Structure 1
Amino acid sequence: RAVIQRLRNYACLALWCGNSRIDHLHETGRLGQGRKFYGRSIYYDVLPTLLLEWDPDRDYIPTTPYSETPSKRRNAPTEGTHHCWQVWNDYAPVSDYLFEAAQIPRFLDEFGLQSLLSTHALQRVCPSHRLYSGSAALEKHNYQEEGATRLARYSAALFCPPLTLEDQIEQSQLAQARAIKLCVEQLRAHNHINGGLLFWTANDCAAAAGFSAVDYAGCPKALYFYARRFFAPVLVTLKMDRNAYLDGHLQNGKVVVVNDTALPLTGKVSCRCMDFYGRYLDGVEYPVSIGPFSKSSPHALPRSLALPAAPNRCLLHLQLETDAGLIAENRFYYLPDKYIDWPTADFDVRISTVEPHCQCIEVASPVFLRDVSITPPEKATLSDNFLDIPPAQPQRIFIHYREPAPLTRTPLGLRSIPCQLRSGKM
């Protein structure tokens, strides 16, 4: 009763759920064949009775995965809620998130990938002389069975072996963020079948490698910043072919614009293949008109954009523009980072104090920089992070400190693991 009263007025609370997977584990015999379902009355009698009294206007389901049809197989993607753990738990590749049409979940409420904590968080729980890759003290803070092996498996699919612990942390966070992005955008592009999703999970209560977007010390991971983009109300993305994914091409890829706003949207979609110096190689434009809470018809990529001559030296840039300007953009790469011929990283950074507690960091580069991360000298809130820096398009990031902002000459970390940019401190 106390928990219901404490949480019921939060606007973000969509519905109540009695338990996670207990019914499913019991039905499949994983809690013991023929065993009594202890606690069943809590989920089917006690909790619904209390909620009827203290929060009658909000829905309740006794368990997840959940099916309202008893004859249906629980956790079937075509019925109720669905958990997808083939990726991570079963070591399946992230391309498994490119669901076949018959396997698209109606509502996906559990899926995810783990990543390491931030250096700031690890410094709280590991002695400094134990802060290195593979140390027993570090792996102690990973409670997943074969957790270190799983982290390495998904990072290695994208990156060269890490040189430092900082590299390992960032690679794991980027592997997590990109996997969740792939799943979310594919399901949003199929929103005529999929009604929504929840990735696991928002934050952590333990100092351990985990599925969260924010670690236990309150430090946002790459997933936190990625989520703000892939959950944007208007999204331009690709429906991708599962067999072509990470095969050096985007063959059979189709551009889709998702409009999750209450207003109609009319504009122009631009699809451009560009090299890492910002040079335009090929492209196509077409008009689009989308109703509220709807999506555009899929638009097939021309062969020249799906199968470029040098996939290791270019990227696909999607943009949606209206009379109000640029509304949404997205970028897709033809190969994993480790196979891309990145140009020599170069950049210019300007730091200015705009308010007593706020600094503006402007980063510019003559070449394309992917997933640039900034590490302030002390704990602070960043307006953005893990962002791309296109050639000759300076990007501004605002850093808000709890105390007055440090001097502009205070060391600041700037890195781009994909582009092998490790400036250390500036």
Structure 2
Amino acid sequence: MTISLNGQWQLTCVQRAALQDLHIYLPGDVHSALFAAGEIPDPYWATNEKKVQWVGECDWIVSRQFDLTEAQLACNAMDLVMDHLDTVAEIRLNGHTVADFNNMFMRHKVDVLSCLQVGSNRIEIVLHRADLAAKKRADKLPFPVPWAEGNNQIPHMNTLRKTQCHAGWDWGICLSVLGVYGDIELQPIEHVRISHISTKQKWLEQECELSVTLNYEVVSDKGLATAAVTFDDQTFQLTLDRDATKACVLFRIAEPRRWWPAGYGKQRLYDLKIEADGSKIDKKIGLRKLELITEDDELGQSMVFKVNDVDISARGANWIPMDAMPARMTDQRYRSLLEDAVAANMNMLRVWGGGMYEKDIFYELCDELGILVWQDLMFACALYPSTPDFVAEVRQEVEYQVRRLKDHTSLALWCGDNEVIGAISWYPESRQNREKYLVNYDRLNRALAEVVEQEDPSRRFWASSPCNGELDFGDAWHDDKRGDMHFWDVWHSGKDLEAYQSVTPRFCSEFGFQSWPSLPTVKTFAPEQDWNITSPSFECHQKNSRGNSIITEMFTRYFRFPNGFVNMLYLSQVQQAMAIKTAVEYWRAHKPTNRGILYWQLNDCWPVSSWSSLEYSGRWKQLHYHVRRFFDQQMATFIRDEQGVKLHLINDGRDSAELKGEVVWQSWAGEILYREPISEFLNPDSTKVTWEWLNEDLEGHETEGFFHVHLRNGEKLIENTYFPAKPKECELEDPDLRFEVAELHGEIFVMLSSSKPAFYVHLEFEGEGRFEDSSFTLVPEHQRQVKYIGSASVDELVQGLRVYHLKQSY
């Protein structure tokens, strides 16, 4: 029976005598414990970030007492097991040092039976400073290895196997956290130690074979260990051979219920249960085929994920660590964020390489919800050592992580790193000696590939993101003909939003545009006197050095300048949504050339100005409401080319779709200048141009109105709006927008109407919850009834609701 050591521990600072025997709850982190004890201010408030840096510049001891009985110690081994130990730590039991660890990404396991005793026992974990450990490692390197300057505020974090963004990023607070973020357990071993379970699927005509392998280590030469393996109501009883290290059973499943990504079918999961020598292991297995196809074609080379022999259009975002203070990473927050991703019609997330291999709950929920996972290995935006010691350490780390994660149905790809190939050209040392640092990169990357290919031959190893393909170290930031692309010409290079339409990536795994957070979120980190874009509090929560300038300058290109702080926040989110919408709709209309779109980024790890579509609190930005529409299986979009404005209809579904409605050309006063009915049948996985307005008929009239499409696919509403001119050039009229809150059949709705068209109509509630839709076009002909999703009452919603639209922003 496993003995849990989770719960209340004691926390002591080595350097500060006044900080003794504070309470800390593990799993948890030192910063969270100090904040709960009132020893530090809220790190997320105002400019407190700088006031708490001393915490990461100290060593800490966490300790506790626990009792053991004679019966509990009557075993042949007792493993102390710790997950997510961050990072440089010495483990002491009853005064004996039993281990030294220095890798956050490993499950640490050590037999401590000889150090335990009947009755009271004391365990101590000494957490050492990460900054000094990183510098010590850097000083020993045979040549300089550039670290992520410009992102990290603490040098040389690339030498340490710790979450890289703990040292700060261009969206992240610098908190060099310490602690244990996973379970701490004592596991008694009688006969065998189960190291890991591995499954493998083999597909026949209408049948799937699932092999289940138990990998184990014998710890006693007496007695026999048995195991029971159950899958799909079939059970095998095994006796584990003392002279072997593994045992395998084979299940045959006739007419298997297949697992599909979200939007393509149901997420069928089977229970796999294993009982072995007193240990119980439960997994959920989805049966499905998975391939990544990269084939040469007339444009370059395709990049498409295929599930169950169906080409998948990957739609999603990049995932960063949920919180800079790991104690706040709760299962419920994981569920809320991932359900919000699926609610916005996503079917893939990329776990970014500057963060962490996520907790089990993340992958379990992705299996359940149908979210494919692009899994980076944890290397990002820096160069990394290739010394024998570092490579050996990383081999062990990747072996563990692949074994831990590969049975998750949702896992689609292993990627070696984030932007490390590109980083070779970023730093003076590597620019001046590119060949040397390229060899250095290749040594490490080949080692990663070897481990992945050995442990999980069922999935592709993709060397880096972005990457043009195997052994291709070209410019994947600008070459859209092959591989995955990071397209940052708009945000970082200052091009207009239309630059998104100058490329058609085969798979775009990063692109993005920032916005400021909403007013309710600003209230959580800035006092009212700092409600100003250039105030100290606000600038502390903008980690991109040019971020506020880029947002503001882009206003001047497209919009009339907003009046006041609140409207600046609102308009920044309009602009962000317009930017990402411009890219996504154009690329989706060019299917099958493009088969993957992952914008940067889904979430925030603290309240901040960033590229996210979900704020730190989980609040939906305007972008996320647009994502829900432009990532829908069926979508309509206007795209202007050299001939004119064309209406493209897209169907990503496995079934056909019938769309009926109309397209209108409407004045700012709401007068219908032109209308045409639309009735189209879309084949599965298809695109179609169904309507066109010639440039020769539009030229000279661009500022007179807008195009709007209103379609139905059964009960589903599909709408879109297109301005032929920039919004700042258009004479929008006051829409006389009216709204009221009402309860109907036990649900709360906001009823909206207007006398004239209103654009980017956005509902913002001070409290928790969201709306079924927001940031939409409201026209007099189609008034809206929008459902509120949350726990507030009608009165609370009335008191805390604000409704924005574009005309009122200036």
Indicate which of 415, 423, 430 corresponds to 1:17. 415
Match of 1:385 in 2: 774
Contact between 2:415 and 2:465, CA under 8 Å: does it hold in 1? yes
Report the Cα offset of residue 381 of structure 1: 2.2
CA distance, structure 2, for counterparts of residue 304 and residue 350 of structure 1: 43
Report the Cα distance in structure 2 between the residues aligned to 1:18 and 1:71, rounded to whole angstroms: 14
The CA distance in 2 between the partners of 1:217 and 1:421, in whole Å, is 25
Larger deviation, residues 35-44 vs 168-177: 35-44
- The verdict on how the C-alpha distance between 1:132 and 1:298 changes in structure 2, with shifts beyond 3 A counting, is same
Distance (whole Å) between structure 2 residues aligned to residue 85 and residue 116 of structure 1: 19
Provide the residue aligned with 1:81 in structure 2.
Answer: 484
Q: Which residue of 2 aligns with 1:248?
A: none
Asked whether the equivalents of residues 272 and 283 of structure 1 are also in contact (C-alpha less than 8 Å), the reply is: yes
Please name the residue that 1:247 is paired with: none
In structure 1, what residue type is equivalent to 2:761?
A: V
C-alpha displacement of 1:49: 1.8
Correspondent of 2:729 among 339, 346, 363: 339
Contact 1:305-1:316 at 8 Å conserved across structures: no
Q: Which amino acid letter does the alignment assign opposite residue 19 of structure 1?
A: D
> Which protein has greater RCO, CA pairs closer than 8 Å, 6+ apart?
1
Match of 1:293 among 672, 685, 705: 685
**Aligned equivalent of 1:412, options 767, 783, 801:** 801
Determine the structure 2 residue equivalent to 1:318. Answer: 709
| Alignment of structure 1 residues 132-147 onto 2, 5 Å | 132-147=532-547
The residue that corresponds to 1:44 in the other structure is: 446
State the distance in 2 between where 1:124 and 1:198 align: 29
- The structure having more radius of gyration, on CA atoms, is 2
- In the alignment, structure 1 segments of 5+ residues that lack a partner are 245-250
CA distance in structure 2 between the aligned counterparts of 1:130 and 1:325, rounded to whole angstroms? 46
SS of match in other structure, 1:334: coil
Q: Quote the offset at 1:404 in angstroms.
A: 4.6
**Aligned residue for 2:3?**
none
Q: Which residue of 2 aligns with 1:278?
A: 670
Query: Cα distance, 1:299 vs. partner?
Result: 4.4
- Higher relative strand content: 2
Instruction: Tell me the CA shift for residue 308 of structure 1.
Output: 6.5
Deviates more, 1:26-35 or 1:255-264: 26-35
Q: Aligned to 1:329, which of 714, 719, 734?
A: 719
- Verify the 8 A CA contact 1:269 1:288 in the aligned structure 2: no
Query: CA contact under 8 A between 1:239 and 1:255: conserved in structure 2?
Result: yes
Counterpart of 1:201, as a letter, is Q
Residues 241-274 of structure 1, C-alpha deviation per residue, up to 9 Å, x if partnerless?
3xx8xxxxxx622221111111123445633211
> Equivalences for 1:30-69 in 2 at 5 Å?
32=430, 33-34=432-433, 35-36=436-437, 43-46=445-448, 49=451, 52-53=454-455, 57-69=458-470
1:212 matched to 2:212? The reply is no
Does the C-alpha gap of structure 1 residues 153 and 41 become closer, same or farther in structure 2, counting only changes over 3 Å? same
For the residue of structure 2 that corresponds to 1:145, the secondary structure is coil
Residue 233 in 1 paired to residue 633 in 2?
yes
Cα deviation for residue 337 of structure 1 reads 2.1
SS at match of 1:384: coil
Q: Distance in 2 between matches of 1:414 and 1:154?
A: 24
TM-score of the pair, normalised by structure 1? 0.85
The DSSP-based 3-state class of the residue aligned with 1:153 is helix
SS of 2:587's equivalent?
A: helix
Q: Indicate yes or no: 2:609 matched with 1:176.
A: no
Contact map agreement 1:203 1:215 (CA 8 A) in 2: yes
Residues 30 and 179 of structure 1: CA distance in aligned 2, closer, same or farther (over 3 Å): farther
TM-score (norm. length: structure 2): 0.47
Distance 1:407 1:26, change over 3 A: closer
Q: Which amino acid aligns with 1:329?
A: E
Match among 787, 790, 793 for residue 398 of structure 1:
787
CA contact (8 A) 1:288 1:296 kept: no
**How far apart are residue 405 of structure 1 and its match?**
4.8
> Is the 2:571–2:809 contact (alpha carbons within 8 Å) kept by the matching residues of 1?
no
In the TM superposition, what whole-angstrom CA distance separates every residue of 1:319-338 from its partner, at most 9, and x where no partner exists? Answer: 4456x366522110122222
Query: Which consecutive residues of structure 2, in runs of 5 or more, have no partner in the other structure?
Result: 1-105, 108-356, 374-411
> What is the alpha-carbon distance in structure 1 between the residues aligned to residue 655 and residue 771 of structure 2?
30
Cα distance in 2 for partners of 1:292, 1:119 equals 42
Moved more, 172-181 or 214-223: 214-223
| Corresponding residue to 1:163 among 538, 546, 563 | 563
Deviations 1:310-357, CA, capped at 9 Å, x for gaps? x334111124456x366522110122222221222312222123477x
Measure how far apart 1:71 and its partner are. 5.2
3-state DSSP of counterpart to 2:567: helix
CA change 1:415–1:239 in 2 (3 A) is closer
Find the aligned partners of 1:339 and 1:396 in 2 and give their Cα distance.
30
Once residues 360 and 238 of structure 1 are traced to their aligned partners in structure 2, the CA distance between those partners, rounded to angstroms, is: 30
Q: Which moved more, 1:147-156 or 1:24-33?
A: 24-33
Structure-2 separation of matches of 1:403 and 1:207 = 23
C-alpha distance in 2 between matches for 1:18 and 1:183 = 26
Alignment of 1:197-208 (within 5 A): 197-208=597-608
Summarize the Cα distance change of 1:84–1:160 in structure 2 as closer, same or farther, 3 Å threshold.
same
- Does residue 115 of structure 1 match 2:515? yes
Kept after mapping to 2: 8 A contact 1:282/1:304: no
Instruction: Tell me the percent identity.
Output: 21
Q: In the alignment, residue 385 of structure 1 is paired with which amino acid?
A: S
C-alpha displacement of 1:106? 1.1
Deviation string 1:43-80 (CA, Å, 9 cap, x unpaired) is: 43247625753x65443313111122535724121111
Distance 2:467 2:552 in 1: 33
Partner of 2:282: none
CA–CA distance in 1 between the matches of 2:422 and 2:661?
Answer: 44
Corresponding residue for 1:348? 738
Distance 1:280-1:230 versus aligned 2 partners, 3 A rule: same
Q: 1:315·1:332 contact (CA, 8 Å) conserved in 2?
A: yes
CA contact (8 A) 2:581 2:626 kept: yes
Q: How many residues align?
A: 406
Q: Which residue of 513, 517, 528 corresponds with 1:128? A: 528
Question: How many Å separate the matches in 2 of 1:228 and 1:30?
Answer: 43
